[in-house]
């Protein structure tokens, strides 16, 4: 069966109703685009950034989830299904039901895939009580209790290699847990280990040095340039490789970040670049081979560090291109990574694609430094802005 739904502005089909898909749909509706469809299989919409706070014991699951039907902008058609392929030469997408939907403009906003099975033993280990993560809602919930109830032992936190969704946020629950253990007077009895594929806590030195203060203050043992090669949950051990040398770390709790990659159907549909993500121009967000295909969010090869903050800028570029093409706005690669370094302060990194700091309050060059203000932004203000402004196309 095929469905064709065109009008004067053309039909816009959006693959994925997460942060990026709903943001751009809402923006287009506000600009008067009449025919907008989101294809999204999930019933529930999740605000992922607060999963780190749940894992760190300072937020509740109820703050993070809303029914997809409630966040789908008024006037937008929601098709509850999954795209299995894009047929660019036919201007249509194929769904898992076999249905085809035609489009005039296609916006791919399908996020990044978590590959728990890419590290031997990790997937099985994630079913055990001692392996938790902020990368899924259930495991973030599990992290909250596992970290809270600990009085002694070893906790290993791992950060995912790029490409990943905001990889640095693996550090958020780690600092939050340490802060809590310190307040309870048990931090000295807990060995906290941080394993990262990067050679420093962050790729911008000014931010890294802020984070090193917290790593030192909490006495966190760090393993840089490290690749996780295996998890053995029956032995509660994780194997890491640094410079070809394997080290085994025992754990009481493992807070893991899964490897991440582009979904296979993107390459199978011929939309991919070298890294498997949607091959769009980094400034215009338009596909390099198909003029009526666009991509934003984690599915697009736009920035080294993917984030929700980046989507705020990206959605404006596509909305302008489709409704006010004379404006010719360009995406500068803005992205962000907030680190909650205590239960009341954060280090808030905002930067462009060249690794230059780009604070959203431009005159406040040192905004990235550890502050109470940015903690409140991350914990209180941005979640409110997300539900009330971003998902409604107002920010």
DSSP string, 107-141: EE----EE-GGGSTTHHHHTTSTTEE-SSSHHHHH
Where do we find the tokens 């159907």? 265
Q: For ligand FAD, which residue of 26, 33, 36, 39 counts as binding (CB under 6 A)?
A: 39
Q: Under the criterion CB under 6 A, does residue 135 sit at the interface with ligand FAD?
A: yes
Separation of alpha carbons 307 and 18, rounded Å: 12
Whole-number Cα distances in Å, 127 to 21, 196, 251, 307, 339:
30, 23, 15, 27, 27
State which residue, 33 or 109, has the beta carbon closest to ligand FAD. Answer: 109
User: With contact defined as beta carbons under 8 Å apart, do 13 and 107 qualify?
Assistant: yes
For 83-95, b/e burial (b = at least 16 CB within 10 A) is: bbbbebeebbbbb
Where do we find the tokens 């596509």? 318
Would you tell me how many other CB atoms lie within 10 Å of the CB of residue 313? 17
DSSP 3-state assignment of 100? Answer: strand
Q: Which of residues 97-126 bind ligand FAD (CB under 6 A)?
A: 109-111
Q: Under the criterion CB under 6 A, does residue 169 sit at the interface with ligand FAD?
A: yes
Q: For ligand FAD, which residue of 11, 37, 134, 303 counts as binding (CB under 6 A)?
A: 134
Q: For ligand FAD, which residue of 11, 12, 13, 16 counts as binding (CB under 6 A)?
A: 16
Which window, 162-170, 219-227, 316-324, 359-367, contacts ligand FAD (CB under 6 A)? 162-170
Which window, 3-11, 99-107, 304-312, 363-371, contacts ligand FAD (CB under 6 A)? 304-312
Q: Under the criterion CB under 6 A, does residue 340 sit at the interface with ligand FAD?
A: no
Which window, 3-11, 164-172, 278-286, 323-331, contacts ligand FAD (CB under 6 A)? 164-172
Whole-number Cα distances in Å, 9 to 31, 256, 323:
11, 45, 8
Q: How large is the C-alpha radius of gyration of the chain?
A: 21
User: With contact defined as beta carbons under 8 Å apart, do 378 and 370 qualify?
Assistant: no
Those residues whose C-beta lies under 8 Å from the C-beta of residue 272, and which sit 6 or more positions away, are 262, 266, 278, 279
Residue whose Cβ sits closest to ligand FAD: 18
Q: For ligand FAD, which residue of 56, 57, 197, 308 counts as binding (CB under 6 A)?
A: 308
Q: For ligand FAD, which residue of 121, 163, 258, 309 counts as binding (CB under 6 A)?
A: 309
Q: Under the criterion CB under 6 A, does residue 143 sit at the interface with ligand FAD?
A: no
User: With contact defined as beta carbons under 8 Å apart, do 300 and 335 qualify?
Assistant: no
Q: Under the criterion CB under 6 A, does residue 375 sit at the interface with ligand FAD?
A: no
Q: Which DSSP category does 359 fall into?
A: -
Q: Under the criterion CB under 6 A, does residue 306 sit at the interface with ligand FAD?
A: yes
Binding mask 65-84 for ligand FAD (x = CB under 6 A): -----------------xx-
| Both structure tokens of 91 | 């201007």
Q: Under the criterion CB under 6 A, does residue 94 sit at the interface with ligand FAD?
A: no
State which residue, 52 or 214, has the beta carbon closest to ligand FAD. Answer: 52
Q: Under the criterion CB under 6 A, does residue 197 sit at the interface with ligand FAD?
A: no
Q: Under the criterion CB under 6 A, does residue 193 sit at the interface with ligand FAD?
A: no
Q: Under the criterion CB under 6 A, does residue 345 sit at the interface with ligand FAD?
A: no
Which of 143, 172, 159, 168 has the alpha carbon at shortest distance from 252? Answer: 143
Helices (H), 227-272: 264-268
On the question of a cis peptide bond just before residue 163, with omega within 30 degrees of 0, the verdict is yes
State which residue, 90 or 151, has the beta carbon closest to ligand FAD. Answer: 90
Where do we find the tokens 């030195």? 205
DSSP 3-state assignment of 47? Answer: coil
Q: Least distance (Å) from ligand FAD to the CB of residue 167?
A: 9
Q: For ligand FAD, which residue of 12, 24, 26, 48 counts as binding (CB under 6 A)?
A: 48
Q: Under the criterion CB under 6 A, does residue 307 sit at the interface with ligand FAD?
A: yes
State which residue, 34 or 385, has the beta carbon closest to ligand FAD. Answer: 385
Q: For ligand FAD, which residue of 94, 210, 279, 298 counts as binding (CB under 6 A)?
A: 298
Q: Under the criterion CB under 6 A, does residue 42 sit at the interface with ligand FAD?
A: yes
User: With contact defined as beta carbons under 8 Å apart, do 102 and 92 qualify?
Assistant: yes
Residues in contact with ligand FAD by CB under 6 A are 15-21, 39-42, 48-49, 51-52, 82-83, 109-111, 134-135, 165-166, 169, 263, 297-299, 306-309, 311, 336, 338
């Amino acid at each position: 069966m095929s469905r064709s739904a065109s009008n004067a502005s053309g039909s816009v089909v959006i693959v994925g109703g997460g942060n990026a898909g709903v943001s751009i749909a809402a923006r287009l509706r506000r600009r008067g685009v009449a025919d907008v469809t989101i294809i999204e299989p999930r019933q529930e919409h999740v605000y992922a950034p607060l999963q780190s706070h749940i894992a760190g014991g300072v937020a509740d699951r109820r703050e993070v989830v809303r029914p997809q039907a409630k966040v789908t902008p008024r006037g937008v058609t929601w098709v509850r299904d999954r795209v299995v392929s894009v047929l660019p030469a036919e201007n249509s997408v194929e769904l898992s039901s076999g249905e085809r939907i035609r489009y005039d403009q296609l916006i791919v906003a399908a996020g990044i895939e978590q590959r728990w099975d890419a590290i031997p033993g990790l997937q099985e280990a994630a079913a055990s009580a001692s392996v938790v993560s902020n990368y899924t809602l259930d495991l973030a919930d599990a992290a909250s209790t596992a970290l809270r109830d600990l009085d002694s032992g070893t906790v290993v936190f791992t950060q995912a290699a790029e490409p990943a969704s905001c990889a640095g946020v693996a550090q958020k629950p780690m600092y939050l847990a340490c802060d809590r253990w310190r307040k309870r007077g048990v931090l000295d009895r807990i060995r906290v280990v941080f394993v990262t594929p990067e050679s420093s806590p962050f790729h911008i030195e000014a931010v890294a040095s802020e984070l090193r203060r917290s790593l030192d203050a909490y006495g966190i043992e760090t393993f840089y340039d490290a690749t996780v090669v295996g998890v053995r949950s029956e032995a509660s051990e994780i194997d890491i490789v640094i410079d070809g040398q394997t080290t085994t770390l025992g754990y009481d709790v493992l807070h893991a970040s899964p490897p991440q990659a582009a979904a296979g159907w993107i390459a199978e549909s011929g939309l991919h670049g070298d890294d498997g993500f949607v091959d769009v121009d980094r400034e215009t967000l338009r596909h390099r081979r198909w003029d009526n295909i666009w991509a934003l969010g984690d599915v697009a090869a736009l920035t080294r560090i993917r984030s929700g903050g980046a989507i705020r800028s990206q959605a404006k570029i596509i909305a302008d291109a489709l409704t006010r093409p004379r404006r010719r706005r360009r995406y500068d690669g803005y992205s962000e990574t907030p680190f909650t370094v205590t239960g009341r302060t954060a280090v808030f990194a905002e930067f462009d694609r060249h690794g230059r700091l780009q604070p959203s309050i431009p005159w406040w060059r040192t905004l990235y430094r550890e502050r109470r203000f940015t903690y409140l932004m991350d914990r209180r203000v941005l979640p409110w802005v997300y539900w009330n402004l971003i998902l409604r196309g107002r920010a």
